[in-house]
Amino acid sequence: MSAFSNIWKIKELRERILFTLGLVFICRMLAIVPTPGVDASELAKAIQSAQQTASGGLMGTFDLFTGGALSRISVGTLGIWPYITASIIIQLMTAIIPALERMAREGESGRQKLNQTTRYLTLVICAFQSLGIVALLNNPAVIGLGSARLVQMPGVAFTVMTIVCISAGTMLTMWLGEQITERGIGNGTSIIIMVNICARLPQSLFETIIRFIPTEGQAAQFNFFHLVLLLTLAFCVFAGTIALTQGMRRIPIHTARRSVGSRAVGGQSTYMPLRVNFSGVMPIIFAGPILQACGWVLGRIPNNHPNRFVELIGDFGRALQTGVSNSYLIFYAILIVFFSFFWVATQFHAVRIADELKSGNSYVPGIRPGMPTAEFLDLTMTRVTFIGAIGLVIIAVTPTLLYREFEIPYGLASFFGGTSLLIIVGVALDTLRQVESYLVMRNYDGFLKHGRLRGRR
């Protein structure tokens, strides 16, 4: 607790934290202010009736990351996700398009050009997604939200107004995230996502607590055994997630000594960290919506289709719609493993790293420079990625198993694994690193007296 009290003794750190809290408050307001022209009561009824469908599950996933903004169709409906989508597209295209790759190698000026390109792409994505939201509001039956009239005065004016409001909300959220990164504490985009996820925690805790309270004529649904189980699982899952997030394989790197003029340079030994969870939360983000979208598409095949094979495909789609079936979990795990390796293949360039080591007169002990070093790094990263992918699968399926086997509310179970836990743990550790650096730099005690946070020197 002394570390938390020391935070407020450092003026710069105190101002950064208060600045971050102020901008986070504004982001939450954007998630609450509704978009004009939408009947809020009819929208709430339609979403409640669609909770058991694939479209409802897909909406629930995105609604979790927007802090409930999607279910309200608020100004911040899209949240920060169009910006994240644009960033992912630019990252993937950088590995494919030579012009973007050259831009990425131009240093600070190239990074600024890529950031500006990402902002323009974000605006385009906002416009298309906002137009899609308008179309769904005008015809909610398409995604299983019933035939209620959600738009009070449909027409061109409503379409333009909604696109402008939602796009402006997203661009403002993106700007606030950049301001947090520059003048606050932690990564602004990540903090906004984490706060949106944690905004659902009080409601989930309330839904769980009432299950421990007996009602008139009925015993409590949960007992002391469930409480012990939840606490034990929370400790194990959080500890495992932290270990997976911080785990790395250290590759020793030696720099040969060479003479520059009249003095010798080099001769140093360091290491290259290969993260166990190199892909982060991206495989889970890709796998979940893809399966839910496939379940919604395939589930529209009728049960009594004359072709038996087509009928089986429809049954498979309906199994995916539940989100808790064995078929869903198996393909969920397969997709997570696939996207883990896919992300590493597109973002980890062993040949480029080997060339940079060779040009810097550095080498891996026992490995010849050049292509042998690239092959060694590629093989090592493949093994490390496999371990990380298995860890991601365990974390991803834990909430579903808790919900299916122990009937724990899914809102609370989602904090025991999956995307929510990975984001919360990753952002919390990253923010703690920055706070720790401020404390240590001012000669204050940090959060840890034994052990260390990754990155602390």
Identify the CATH class of 14-199: mainly alpha
CB 185 within 8 A of CB 434: yes
pLDDT of 140 above 90: no
Domain ranges of the chain: 14-199
Give 255's strand partners. 362
**Band of residue 456 on the pLDDT scale cut at 50, 70, 90:** very low
pLDDT (mean) for 82-105: 82
Give tens-digit pLDDT for 380-422. 999 999 999 999 899 888 888 888 887 777 777 777 777 788 8
The answer to whether 192 and 27 have CB atoms below 8 angstroms apart is: yes
Which one is predicted more confidently, 325 or 333? Answer: 333
Q: Going edge to edge, which strands form the sheet with 248-255?
A: 269-275, 248-255, 362-363
Closest among 267, 270, 238, 244 to 255, alpha carbons compared: 267
Check residue 264 and give its pLDDT: 55
Each residue's pLDDT tens digit, 119-137: 999 999 998 888 888 887 7
pLDDT on residue 148: 63
How far, in Å, CA of 404 to CA of 68, rounded?
A: 24
Contact 411, 203 (CB under 8 A): yes
> What is the share, in percent, of the chain residues with pLDDT greater than 70?
85
| Chain segment 367-385, per-residue pLDDT in tens | 888 888 889 999 999 999 9
CB-based contacts of 68: which residues, under 8 Å, 6+ apart?
Answer: 31, 199, 200
Asked if 148 contacts 140 with a C-beta cutoff of 8 angstroms, the reply is yes
Classified as helix, coil or strand, 51 is: coil
pLDDT of 56 strictly over 50: no
Q: Which of 44-48, 164-168, 365-369 has the lowest mean pLDDT?
A: 44-48
Strand partners, 74: 34
CA distance 417 to 419: 7
Please tell me what DSSP assigns to residue 444: -
